[in-house]
Structure 1
């Protein structure tokens, strides 16, 4: 084998690389081994080279002086084989006898394969002579399998005259006379000629393939000669490569193709300041974002903004450069910016990622571009400990490559190339110092030429390892990520909270449905704004609306029709992160935000990776909070002085007492500013003093006294807090019999306001409240174990609201009773007056149609499992005026109400005939009452009338069924809605089997003759326009069956015939047949039972089939 290379380590041979034998080169095999854990591993190893350590090589191999003769002999053997194969091919083509022998051998092989697939012979056939079987004339043939198609098929002998005709011309065949027997013989002869030609071609192709294989064996021998020539010159090539690397390094030193740009000029750094090399790569956009507001479009074309900012903001220079004399590397951005197409993205993002050097010497700042390709993509200025030998000295199985391994020399070479990349940075810096004095005066005059030495660097340079976690000190208490910090502050969201809102990112169809419109498109944000906020960002105070915490935004309609301005409601608590597109932070609750936290996240370099999403927002929040602090400073100082004068609390804790009291007071007073020190006589100033005094007494027996109070009341204490109004408040868990677990678990606890006497606490007031996870208006003084289990949420806005909503369902019988029989005059007057008021409101809701109020009575409560939305399931009547007209007492007073209702409705109808028809239509108990779904806010006061716009649907089963009974409709609705909703209903409305019990109360019964059926209309039609494929004779029919029986499947039509079907439900068979008869009579057709036409397709048992045929055909 040829020695390709001798790898040196410390100028001594270490690894010998051999080229495999030419006949083995390019092949390979699978290597198998077990790792440290005992797991079997395998990998494919190709024979491209063999490596041996020096001692193993010397032990296993010896020099072959006659290597050229050995290779020549091996090549000659291959050439001899090729000549032999070529001679066999030429001889067979020139000698008919030789070719005939090949053909006969092929035919015998084909017969043998055919016999191998012949069915088993009878016993008497097996006694026949084997030679006769080989002849094959009398052996029966079976059709060959698909896998036998590649083999020639044996044929019986063919008459030579017939063969001559088969291989001759058409005219010659006609002259001999053609009969059926001759045509069969000609077919047999043609098949045999095809078989012979196939055998000849296969043999020739086989020989050609053998010649190609032998020829391919020669290529590695010739490649080996070229590799041998390269191996002889390896030492020279390595030497030249080292010279070229050295020349490249010298080019950096002398400044060839090195570009230096001046950014700032000024005084130099003091001579005592060493030169600092900063390890981490800085990002231009992330550094500039602290001082300027950037957006997604910032890229390499915007770099002038950064250099202008360096000249304008000395603080930016201090932020980027850690010392007055230092060197660092920087690129524009790490972000992938989408420019619209793939090619532009690639080119421009490569420019954004190109690395350059920045050099600072006092007030002098320069930018340096290196021509070295690897420098343009460098991750840092000098390597980390993670970039040591471990990243190169690892094998394919993860084990460390040691000196004794054959891969050691390759790992060492890769490590040296990696080190050269960083050494060239140092050489570039040395050239900048020698040629341009770019770093200023920081070392002795005679030391310049020793710039790259270890001694020089130890004395005059410093290396800042700010990108190497293993070299950094612990930074103290770990802060949460910026998103976790935001979430923790937004958890303080309560009515009265101060909320900084960025409207474009906060407003979406979930939070502000009144000023947004969904677009249902793949591009864009998925919605459009129907009105735009007048200010992009505002600090507003939150308020409660139902279960939601809301804020108001001042918006303006921007259209050619209107420029109206108004306040729109934004439901902040309904914001869902990552559901709608938003580029920046949507909102931040400022109640517990400290300016020190904002500054830390703004200036923290690792957090600024996400600067586009938060930093502009944080800078605005910081301005607001700092302005508030400046305005509060006189009051804070006066409060601190009051603590000092009264010697309240330890001296070092007093500033914290002031701060905690101020946060609680402002949160409790909806963000109002602190009272001025000149207002010391006011009640609010006294509350602040009381707040600080109470906070200073934490732990002084309060907890034990409060716990003793809770135990007297029979409650388990959860949390003791001091409110923003300087009141002690106890949160206590309710007793079991106080919990309301209907529809969803009980979520409220007792919030008990306490007053403190000399010996104990007593109760001032109490209410049901949710235990907040955080509340800026309350200062927690103690929390008992188990308190977090009661930090719950509820879809109900309050405990009282839950009782009110569910009470409406429980009062169904009481509420509906007046509408089921004629009431007294006073009761009817109230019912009609309520309807008139609701009618006027409903008629005003639309200018194009008449919208009437709906009479509705809740019977169940529904909560959507995903969204938590609450709704009623109601028994409703859309024609309430009919109900009132049928219940009017026999007196003129009540009749007057009906006349007024009729007059109000009549005025709204443009078509008076249509109105009269609607008014005079007879009341239908079944069609009047129905199930509808409403939002829980649809009812106002005690009136049972609601606007039709409040009706919604949470279930596809909200449509009425065939049955007239509400119980059947409810069963169908409940089966569908229970899949995605929680449903609660009063026990009085449902029987033990879950059936609704209100049909008898409402007087609803099944109509006479109720026997539901379903009917399927089947139609066949021809697709052929020219009548090539005719439709079947009986092309249309109607199948009718009981509702609980299955209708038969439609027979599959023939090719060219289309089929369609439709299914409907009817009260009974007669109604189904009557409806179809009416339709078909107008079309000139009639229905005929299928049993009257025996030749027609018949239905299965239990199904009635009615054929639809033209009337003239039926006659």
Structure 2
């Protein structure tokens, strides 16, 4: 017996062996040996028969058991409030020590007796209601109708006698009214009891449906594992896997190891294009291929080794795509485009050759090519609700241990599938080059082959890097130098707001969008800061289409707009950066750093503009000095 099997603390190995011989499966029935009480205060009296709805396994053995309480366990208040039948969770050893198995025939016979008892109760309540209804009818029939019936038809002179009769009749009617109210309330209460028992009765038949569904769970689980194996074998055979040659050329030497880069790259962060339109997306994959063909430096930057494999996804974050309210077709198109942006692919380099590999859906969602230590530990850790408390390790005595082992198995399966897919690609298409030649190995799954030929580059973990401030902090440091005469690069669409220039831009509260009545001539421009009253401002050229009555044509009129800096309405993204003390090498860092490029839309357009401006000035200065 494996030491990994769950066990109650203090049990002997012999007792553990005996208990492990007791079979448990979904759809089986179990009887309590004694009165039980849960941590939540629920009770299960001795002799209660409960249905097993699920069994969670750990290391191939039953670990966490799910039982469904009896339909009789719900109180009338539970039924009235719509509370479902409760469930019990326990470790396997708790089950076999506190419950005993019951045959399906005995369990159903017990339920039939409970159903019969409920039916008898419902009949008794119904008979009681009918009796009370008969009592109401008798009371109603005894009540006189009309003034003559109430006061009698005696001599008009006998006024005093009729007054006494009226008092007695009123008292009698009040008693009968109270009796009617009491009987009506009792009928209502009995009706509620009958409804509760009818609902409880339906729960018994619902339980039989749940038992039938639970009984096929083991078969469904086996079928699921078979389909997992089919999908895994299909990866080796190339099912839903396609490889296209992007760049042809010579292979890397046979002894060049295969570098597997852990970190998933993102196409939009690598290309840094369409910066004013939300960045690149899945439609720019061909643009990446073209740049790889034209730029060997980009190939080296992305792959970093002569023989390498990386994961890449079009976008990390969703691209803002505006759709008109109520336009269902546009909404569906936007959702489909977002799904394509999340579909990862693999790029493989072998010397001068580069291939693009299309992945099946169950691999394209992988967060990285192989797991980090945190990924491996995550299924077995439960985060604390409190910041200062450490995460709690999920052990074999935890109810969540079986679920944790299944999460870990799924995690291991995903990365195992990557390996099998690459093995199949090599055997079928040879996209990794002559890596197996002379090695004595033919199997990518062989640990000896992996140790000799794989290099795992753990670039998606907490590593020590350059001690540079984050981009936003860097901008704050530079912008602290702002003064009259400072040179800045201005991002016009961020600086000009409806509060500053309502004749240029306004805000539509219905669509929550800005409407530009005029446009900046240059969205990103170089400007010199000047003082205007108490404000520091820059002049930005604005172009507007105006109608020329003399020529009967629209012409563009350009005017200068004095835009204050640090206006309260300029919220959110950085609208400018002071370039007086910027070194172009600092900007190269923010463009080259993948960790910084995660937020590239906030700064990349400005950085590229500033870098190009500074380099142009440096070239002019060198030309002057050389001249």
Considering the TM-score relative to the shorter chain, is it more than 0.5? yes
TM-score interval (norm. to shorter):
0.7 to 0.9
Q: Which of 113, 135, 141 is the aligned partner of 1:76?
A: 113
State the shift of 1:60 in Å: 2.6
CA deviations 1:197-251 (Å, max 9, x no partner) are 7777655554444344334444454455556566666655443332221112111
Aligned partner of 1:335 among 318, 329, 332: 318
Determine the structure 2 residue equivalent to 1:451: 444
Preserved contact between residue 260 and residue 457 of structure 2 (Cα < 8 Å): yes
CA RMSD, Structure 1 to Structure 2 (Å): 4.5
Report matched runs for 1:1027-1066 at 5 Å: none
Distance 1:5 1:552 in 2: 71
1:822-867 CA deviation, whole Å, 9 max, x = no partner? xxxxxxxxxxxxxxxxxxxxxxxxxxxxxxxxxxxxxxxxxxxxxx
What is the match of residue 266 of structure 2? 283
Deviation at 1:570, TM superposition (A): 3.5
Pick the aligned partner of 1:560 from 532, 544, 547: 547
Pairing 1:351–2:389 present? no
CA distance in 2, matches of 1:202, 1:623: 87
1:255 aligned residue (217, 223, 238):
238
Q: Which residue of 2 aligns with 1:60?
A: 98
SS at match of 1:257: coil
49, 55, 68: which one aligns with 2:88: 49
**Structure 1 contact 395–401 (Cα < 8 Å) conserved:** no
Query: Does structure 1 retain, via aligned residues, the 8 Å contact 2:497–2:569?
Result: no
Once the 2 structures are TM-superposed, how far is the Cα of residue 270 of structure 1 from its aligned partner?
A: 2.6
Determine the C-alpha separation between the residues in 2 that align with 1:188 and 1:343. Answer: 74
Q: Give the equivalent residue in structure 2 for 1:1057.
A: none
Other-structure match for 1:488: 477
Report the Cα offset of residue 589 of structure 1: 3.0
Q: Secondary structure at the match of 1:23?
A: helix
**3-state SS, counterpart of residue 606 of structure 1:** helix
Cα deviation 1:365-416 (Å, max 9, x = unaligned): 332222233x333322222222123344428876322122233222212221
User: Counterpart of 2:254?
Assistant: 271
Asked if the contact 1:26–1:46 (Cα under 8 Å) also holds between the matched residues in 2, the reply is no
1:23 aligned residue: 72
Q: 1:629 aligns with which of 607, 611, 618?
A: 618
Would the aligned equivalents of 1:331 and 1:354 in 2 still touch at CA under 8 Å? yes
- Cα offset for 1:596? 0.6
Query: Where do 5+ consecutive residues of structure 2 fail to align?
Result: 1-29, 31-50, 151-161, 325-330, 386-390, 550-554
The normalised TM-score by structure 2 is: 0.72
1:721 maps to what in 2? none
Deviation of 1:300 after TM superposition, in Å, equals: 2.5
Whether the aligned pair in 1 keeps the contact of 2:136 and 2:180 (CA below 8 Å) is no
Structure of higher RCO (CA pairs closer than 8 Å, 6+ residues apart): 2
Residues 738-787 of structure 1, C-alpha deviations (whole Å, 9 max, x = no match):
xxxxxxxxxxxxxxxxxxxxxxxxxxxxxxxxxxxxxxxxxxxxxxxxxx
Displacement, 1:613? 3.2
Are positions 1:423 and 2:413 aligned together?
no
* Distance 1:633-1:202 versus aligned 2 partners, 3 A rule: same
Which residue pairs with 2:306 in the alignment?
A: 324
* Aligned-pair CA distance for 1:497: 3.6
Contact 1:25 1:48 in 2 (8 A): no
- Determine helix, strand or coil for the equivalent of 1:49: strand
Q: How far is the alpha carbon of 1:622 from its aligned partner?
A: 1.8
CA shift in 2, pair 1:467/1:187, >3 Å:
farther
Aligned residues: 543
C-alpha deviation, 1:633, in angstroms: 3.8
1:489–1:593: 8 Å Cα contact kept in structure 2?
Answer: yes
Distance 1:273 1:188 in 2: 109
Change (3 A) 1:545 1:80: closer
Alignment of 1:385-784 (within 5 A): 385-394=373-382, 399-444=392-437, 449-469=442-462, 472=463, 474-476=464-466, 478-507=467-496, 517=504, 519=506, 521-522=508-509, 524-525=513-514, 528-529=517-518, 534-544=521-531, 547-549=534-536, 551-552=538-539, 558-561=545-548, 568=560, 570=562, 574-576=564-566, 579-580=569-570, 586-633=575-622, 676=625
Q: Conserved in 1, the CA contact under 8 Å of 2:379 and 2:407?
A: no
- Is the 8 Å Cα contact of residues 162 and 189 (structure 1) preserved in structure 2? no
Structure 1 unpaired stretches of 5+? 30-43, 108-154, 167-179, 635-673, 679-1115
The change in CA–CA distance for 1:78 and 1:300 in structure 2 (over 3 A counts) is same
Change (3 A) 1:211 1:626: same
Q: Check whether the contact 2:545–2:557 (CA below 8 A) recurs between aligned residues.
A: no
Cross-structure match for 1:382: 370
The residue matched to 2:259 in structure 1 has which SS? strand
Alignment of 1:87-236 (within 5 A): 89-90=126-127, 93=130, 100-101=134-135, 160=144, 162=146, 206-222=189-205, 224-225=207-208, 236=219
Secondary structure of the 1:243 match is helix
Contact 2:262 2:460 in 1 (8 A): yes
Task: Report if the CA contact (8 A) 2:265-2:313 is conserved.
Answer: yes
1:246 has 2:229 as partner: yes
Residue 40 of structure 1: aligned partner: none
Evaluate the alpha carbon distance shift between residue 419 and residue 164 of structure 1 in structure 2; reply closer, same or farther with a 3 A threshold: farther
Structure of larger gyration radius: 1
Cα distance per residue 1:594-639 (max 9 Å; x no partner):
11111111111122223233222322322222233233347xxxxx
Change (3 A) 1:594 1:73: closer
Query: How far is 1:433 from its partner?
Result: 1.6
Relative to structure 1, is the Cα distance of residues 186 and 419 closer, same or farther in structure 2, using a 3 angstrom cutoff? farther
C-alpha displacement of 1:308:
2.3
CA separation of 1:486 and 1:15: change in aligned 2, threshold 3 A:
closer
Instruction: Tell me if the contact between 1:401 and 1:408 (Cα under 8 Å) persists in the aligned partners.
Output: yes
What's the TM-score once normalised by structure 1's chain length?
0.43
Q: CA deviation at 1:22?
A: 4.0
CA distance in 1, matches of 2:69, 2:376: 34
Change (3 A) 1:69 1:493: closer
Instruction: Provide the secondary structure at the position in 2 that maps to 1:559.
Output: strand
